[in-house]
């Protein structure tokens, strides 16, 4: 792989890095060198993850090399001292032992992201690099890694955790018991990179627990992958024994980091949780008194006594009484109290800093006891209420008494009325009157006590980040495709940042079409604010807009709504009016489901519709799974429609308190946002994230349509990602719908003509790697029988084409998929037609070279296929009868070195005849600012002097001088005055020669 010297560190990159990648890696390396923190934004598709991994691991490898050299010198010094100075070798051995225990002082990398799917993608990127031999490991939950059949069957993550702990403690998990004997097995230690799937496969093969085995790899790992909560949640950090001293912490996809920091420090407890805990303690006490057969551990010494249970029950009853006494004057909005209230509430039940550790340990033991008992009696609960109480105490008392001032400023207690579950049948009214859990003892007829929810909310993300920095980490790097604006983020997290970056996009301006649509086809204003969102005319106009766009956009179309209620409202209205059926006739429609299983199947159906060349429309919600966690590269997403600004619920108690917190703590020094600024930024960040689903790599292209007139407001524009602002220009305006239709049609027509399509991209070096690792090697070309028209030849070509498609990162097709596209079964008697695999290559393919020797230099190319293109006489999109299609012939070139393969025929682009069409094509190919400069220069030249001609030439050759616009530059001659044409011809000739 090419080596680049970046910030003084040799970095091996899969290809020559682009300027944006080089700038990004320089910032990363500078952070690691100086031991400082960084906030780096680089749009999706710019190779952010690859740059992050290569730069950080290159620096680690350089440090490792330096320390190896130091050890060699130490060994040489020991040899010199060994002869006469006695103590030299002992000193050397001591230094080696200390160095090894401390990883020779070289920091390790912890790479954290939001979801395991994002971590898996990052590990795949790592496998592509020159650093794939560096040791790495991923930490997952028991829910993902446990292979014990009984534990896996448990419903809910907490139940799985407790059941696993029970079996490990009682030494009844054979998988965990094998970890010690199998942890050095070559199948486990051999691979340098093991993701979740790899760990499960090896664990099943060796009958060894992947969850506990993965922890054995952490001490030797150069880079450890884990979800955010393992780092930011003190409980998870402690449970997983994560040491952060002298580590480099990388937080990828960090656009939600403030919210995650706040949530990791927040907790909730309900009245019903306390009542259930009292019942569970009572049940255990009865089992102790009666020596019930439900008690599996009856013959064994208990970890707790009846006195412990009595004391705990008394404390829980006091806590219940204290919660009952909390006043909630407004049951709808709830009541807000200062942070000190939670400590006073728990203090009334005698939960204090002095005894909390003992109580948490007792609660854990009780959970284990109930897990055992529930195996005998399935109706028993498994201690979930004890787990919730333990979490409450752990989080509340994790804040040391010395930082109480900061706690009072950063936290609030919000009390809500708990909605009671309405029972069915005749007993419903009595139970409702009896209070929560139907306990007469909890209800006072005169006061009418109700169940409550006690929320302990953190509103300062810097509180959680400060705890992370206090672990003596070397560097923290926050990165994402949508972090802008950076200043408010840095201010909220309150971390010292030495390096920050806002990268432009890697794609050319002509690859993205961005417009604000202020009115629909019927000229109805498009604005999804509170007062207009219920307007039937607006909903209808929005549907008409989506229908018209769906006719123009090829393949995948994504439509994002501000919320689920808005999505459901539009769907109901469109189904009633018939708009839904009209859209579905153009593209099958898929709705974002909320369930995990449904989500997976829906996404697969969507991708299948794209593969079947039907196209598809996916309607989803901003902040949902589709908007943040999925990749819609190439055909999967050619356009995204944002139907409105997804503001948080204005009257949500948490939103109200967050805005109050910002207003009360905002100063000129800390540069915090105001409450309104934060509220607006929350919406725009969700939009930025949804927009990022479309442009996923340097060869991708797509349209971004903002269907809400509020996007033209300066405050909203400034919060959009920098690369989007560049497309909207200095003064964004809403565009009429009519011109947008014409421009959008022209944009996709030009993109399909000028851009490399997914199945014709150059594979380069990675092609061999992909085929070698993921597929069986291609059969030697000499063994292919080349009988023209034979079925064997067709099958061989089909299989080879599929491998090339897979290697180019296109969704993998099986021969059955090609058969389905043609509407027939493989192996049938009917001859293959253009709708079979040839149409999957490209509508213009007419010659395929299966030679394994490169015709230019004769070097072996590992049997790879080269596809040569030449234009057909008819346009790709024209409709032809099946008889005409059958007449097309496809030539299979034999493996004879003397045969010359026809070079690609360059298609001469036609210049539009009319002035209006000429200007429209220029506008579709260049950026908005360039087109504005071009138009201004043209107007000045029309009535100007010789100086204006020079100014026009400078602009024209700058705007139209590139290869994609050269035909327009030639066509510009007809608009040049007769006296100036000779000079124009001379300049054009010079450009052609260069």
Mean pLDDT over 520-538 rounds to 92
Annotated binding-site residue? 772: no
Give yes or no for residue 341 having a pLDDT over 70.
Answer: yes
Confidence band of 859 (pLDDT split at 50, 70, 90): very low
Contact between 149 and 260 (Cβ < 8 Å): no
In terms of DSSP bridges, do strands 108-113 and 38-41 run parallel, antiparallel, or are they unpaired? unpaired
**Highest-confidence segment of 129-133, 798-802, 849-853:** 129-133
Annotated binding-site residue? 42: yes
Give yes or no for residue 778 having a pLDDT over 60.
Answer: no
C-alpha dist (Å) from residue 370 to 280, 366, 484, 570: 9, 6, 49, 48
Separation of alpha carbons 203 and 213, rounded Å:
8
Give tens-digit pLDDT for 638-664: 999 999 999 999 899 999 999 999 998
Separation of alpha carbons 785 and 781, rounded Å:
9
Annotated binding-site residue? 45: yes
Annotated binding-site residue? 164: yes
Which of 140-154, 472-486, 778-792 comes out lowest in average pLDDT? Answer: 778-792
Domains of the chain, earliest start first: 1-76+104-134+222-255+481-504 (3.40.50), 141-216 (no CATH), 282-288+304-418+450-461 (1.10.275), 512-752 (3.40.50.300), 915-993 (no CATH)
Q: What are phi and psi of 122, to 5 degrees?
A: -65, -40
Confidence band of 379 (pLDDT split at 50, 70, 90): low
Mean pLDDT over 388-398 rounds to 89
Cβ contacts of 103 within 8 Å, gap of 6 or more: none
Give tens-digit pLDDT for 707-758: 999 998 888 888 888 888 888 877 888 888 889 999 999 999 998 888 776 6
Q: Which helix (H) or strand (E) holds 52?
A: helix 48-82
Average pLDDT along the chain: 77
Separation of alpha carbons 522 and 545, rounded Å:
9
Annotated binding-site residue? 43: yes
- Quick one: pLDDT at residue 441? 36
Give yes or no for residue 84 having a pLDDT over 80.
Answer: no
- Quick one: pLDDT at residue 940? 81
Q: What are phi and psi of 281, to 5 degrees?
A: -65, -40
C-alpha dist (Å) from residue 818 to 236, 822, 836, 983: 48, 7, 6, 56
Give yes or no for residue 299 having a pLDDT over 50.
Answer: no
Helices first, then strands: H and E counts in the chain: 44, 23
- Quick one: pLDDT at residue 277? 92
- Report the percentage of the chain scoring pLDDT > 70: 76
- Report the percentage of the chain scoring pLDDT > 90: 29
Contact between 252 and 277 (Cβ < 8 Å): no
Give tens-digit pLDDT for 438-454: 433 333 333 447 899 99
Mean pLDDT over 876-883 rounds to 40
Work out the angle at residue 907's Cα, subtended by the Cα atoms of residues 903 and 912, and round it to the nearest 5 degrees.
Answer: 175
Mean pLDDT over 228-245 rounds to 81
Mean pLDDT over 7-16 rounds to 91
Mean pLDDT over 200-211 rounds to 91
Give yes or no for residue 194 having a pLDDT over 70.
Answer: yes
Separation of alpha carbons 804 and 92, rounded Å:
55
Q: What is the pTM of this model?
A: 0.69
Give tens-digit pLDDT for 900-929: 444 444 456 778 777 777 887 887 787 777
Give tens-digit pLDDT for 142-182: 888 899 988 888 877 778 888 888 888 888 899 999 988 88
Confidence band of 797 (pLDDT split at 50, 70, 90): very low
Confidence band of 832 (pLDDT split at 50, 70, 90): very low
Residue 944 burial by Cβ neighbours in a 10 Å radius (0-12, 13-18, 19+): middle
Pairwise pLDDT comparison (471 vs 341), residue with the higher score: 341
Give yes or no for residue 46 having a pLDDT over 80.
Answer: yes
Give yes or no for residue 765 having a pLDDT over 60.
Answer: no
C-alpha dist (Å) from residue 786 to 793, 834, 852, 919: 6, 20, 14, 51
Q: Which residue has the tokens 């340097």?
A: 698
Annotated binding-site residue? 209: yes
CA dihedral sign of residues 779, 781, 783, 789:
positive
- Quick one: pLDDT at residue 877? 41
* CA nearest neighbour of 590 among 604, 573, 570, 574: 604
In terms of DSSP bridges, do strands 639-642 and 702-706 run parallel, antiparallel, or are they unpaired? parallel
For helices 257-264 and 486-493, the axis angle rounded to 10 degrees is 20
* CA nearest neighbour of 960 among 983, 939, 937: 937
Q: Which residue has the tokens 């939600």?
A: 256
Separation of alpha carbons 689 and 649, rounded Å:
19
Give yes or no for residue 569 having a pLDDT over 90.
Answer: yes
Pairwise pLDDT comparison (524 vs 298), residue with the higher score: 524
Q: What's the Rg (C-alpha) of the chain?
A: 33
DSSP, collapsed to helix, strand or coil, labels residue 786 as coil
Give tens-digit pLDDT for 261-285: 898 889 999 999 999 999 999 988 8
Annotated binding-site residue? 146: yes
Give yes or no for residue 424 having a pLDDT over 80.
Answer: no
Give the dihedral of Cα atoms 486, 491, 497, 503; nearest 10 deg.
0
Annotated binding-site residue? 877: no
């Amino acid at each position: 792989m090419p080596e680049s010297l970046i910030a003084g560190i040799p970095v091996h990159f899969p290809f020559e890095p682009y300027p944006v990648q080089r700038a990004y890696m320089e910032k990363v390396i500078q952070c690691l060198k100086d031991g400082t923190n960084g906030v780096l934004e680089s749009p999706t598709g710019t190779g952010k993850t690859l740059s992050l991994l290569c730069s950080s691991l290159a620096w680690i490898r350089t440090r490792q090399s330096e320390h190896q050299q130091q050890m060699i010198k130490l060994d040489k010094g020991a040899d010199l001292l060994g002869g006469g100075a006695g103590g030299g070798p002992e000193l050397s051995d001591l230094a080696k032992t200390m160095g090894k225990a401390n990883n020779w002082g070289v920091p390790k990398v912890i790479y954290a992201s939001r979801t395991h799917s994002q971590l898996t993608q990052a590990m795949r990127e790592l496998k592509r690099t020159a650093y794939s031999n560096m040791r790495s490991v991923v930490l997952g939950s028991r829910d993902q890694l446990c292979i014990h059949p009984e534990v896996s069957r448990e419903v809910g993550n907490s139940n799985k955790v407790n059941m696993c702990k029970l079996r490990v403690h009682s030494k009844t998990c054979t998988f965990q018991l094998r970890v010690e004997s199998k942890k050095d097995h070559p199948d486990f230690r051999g691979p340098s990179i093991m993701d979740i799937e790899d760990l499960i496969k090896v664990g099943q093969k060796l009958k060894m627990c992947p969850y506990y085995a993965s922890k054995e790899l952490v001490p030797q790992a150069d880079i450890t992958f884990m979800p955010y909560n393992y780092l930011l949640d003190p409980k998870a950090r402690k449970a997983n024994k994560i040491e952060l001293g002298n580590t480099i912490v990388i937080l990828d996809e960090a656009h939600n980091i403030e919210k995650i920091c706040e949530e990791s420090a927040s907790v909730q407890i309900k009245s019903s949780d306390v009542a259930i805990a009292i019942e569970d303690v009572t049940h255990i006490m009865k089992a102790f008194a009666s020596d019930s057969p439900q008690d599996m551990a009856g013959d064994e010494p208990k970890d707790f006594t009846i006195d412990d249970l009595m004391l705990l029950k008394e404390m829980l009853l006091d806590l219940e009484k204290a919660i009952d006494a909390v006043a909630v004057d407004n049951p709808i909005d709830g009541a807000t109290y200062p942070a000190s209230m939670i400590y006073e509430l728990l203090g009334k039940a005698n939960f204090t800093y002095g005894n909390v550790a003992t109580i948490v340990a007792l609660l854990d033991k009780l959970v284990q006891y109930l897990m055992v008992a529930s195996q005998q009696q399935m109706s028993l609960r498994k201690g979930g209420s004890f787990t919730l109480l333990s979490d409450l105490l752990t989080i509340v008392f994790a804040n040391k008494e010395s930082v109480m001032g900061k706690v009072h400023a950063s936290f609030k207690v919000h009390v809500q009325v708990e909605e009671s579950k309405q029972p069915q049948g005749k007993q419903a009214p009595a139970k409702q009157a009896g209070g929560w859990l139907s306990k007469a003892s909890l209800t006072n007829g005169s006061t009418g006590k109700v169940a409550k929810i006690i929320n302990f909310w953190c509103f300062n993300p810097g509180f959680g980040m400060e705890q992370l920095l206090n672990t003596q980490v070397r560097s923290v790097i926050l990165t994402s495709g949508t972090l802008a604006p950076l200043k408010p983020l840095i201010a909220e997290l309150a971390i010292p940042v030495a390096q920050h970056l806002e990268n432009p996009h890697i794609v050319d301006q002509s690859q993205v079409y961005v417009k604000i649509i202020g009115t629909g086809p019927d000229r109805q204003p498009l604005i999804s604010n509170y007062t207009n969102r219920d307007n039937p005319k607006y909903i209808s106009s929005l549907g008409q807009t989506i229908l018209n766009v769906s006719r123009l956009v090829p393949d995948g179309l994504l439509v994002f709504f501000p919320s689920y209620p808005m999505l459901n409202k539009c769907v109901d209205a469109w189904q009633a009016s018939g708009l839904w059926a009209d859209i579905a006739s153009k593209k099958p429609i898929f709705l974002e489901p909320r369930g995990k299983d449904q989500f997976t199947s829906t996404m697969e159906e969507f991708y299948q519709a794209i593969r079947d060349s039907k196209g598809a429309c996916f309607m989803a919600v901003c902040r949902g799974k589709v908007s943040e966690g999925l990749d819609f590269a190439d055909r999967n997403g050619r356009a995204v429609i944002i139907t409105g600004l997804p503001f948080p619920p204005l009257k949500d108690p948490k939103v109200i308190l967050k805005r109050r917190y910002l207003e009360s703590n905002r100063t000129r020094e800390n540069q915090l946002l105001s409450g309104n600024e934060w509220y607006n930024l929350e919406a725009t960040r969700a939009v930025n994230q949804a927009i990022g689903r479309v442009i996923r790599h340097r060869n991708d292209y797509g349209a971004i349509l903002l269907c809400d007139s509020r996007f033209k407001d300066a405050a909203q524009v400034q919060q959009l990602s920098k690369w989007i602002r560049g497309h909207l220009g200095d003064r964004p305006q809403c565009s009429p719908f009519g011109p947008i239709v014409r421009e959008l049609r022209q944009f996709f027509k030009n993109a399909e003509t000028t851009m490399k399509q997914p199945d014709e991209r150059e594979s380069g070096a990675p092609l061999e790697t992909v085929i070698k690792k993921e597929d069986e090697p291609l059969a030697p070309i000499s063994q292919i029988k080349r009988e023209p028209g034979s079925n064997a030849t067709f099958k061989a070509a089909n299989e080879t084409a599929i491998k090339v498609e897979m290697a180019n990162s296109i969704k993998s097709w099986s021969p059955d998929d090609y058969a389905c596209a043609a509407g027939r079964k493989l192996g049938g008697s009917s001859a293959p037609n253009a709708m079979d695999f040839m149409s999957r290559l490209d509508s213009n393919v007419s010659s395929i070279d299966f030679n394994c020797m490169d015709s230019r230099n004769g070097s072996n190319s590992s049997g790879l296929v080269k596809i040569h293109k030449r234009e057909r006489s008819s346009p790709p999109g024209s409709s032809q009868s099946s008889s005409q299609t059958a007449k097309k012939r496809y030539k299979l070139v034999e493996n004879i070195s003397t045969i010359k393969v026809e070079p690609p025929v360059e298609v001469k682009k036609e210049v539009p005849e009319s002035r209006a069409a000429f200007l429209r094509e220029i506008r579709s190919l260049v950026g908005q600012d360039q087109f504005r400069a071009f138009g201004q220069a043209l107007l000045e030249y029309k009535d100007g002097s010789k100086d204006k001609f020079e100014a026009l030439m400078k602009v024209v050759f700058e705007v139209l001088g590139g290869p994609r616009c050269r035909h327009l530059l030639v066509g510009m001659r007809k608009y040049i005055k007769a006296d100036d044409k000779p000079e124009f011809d001379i300049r054009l000739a010079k450009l052609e020669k260069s």
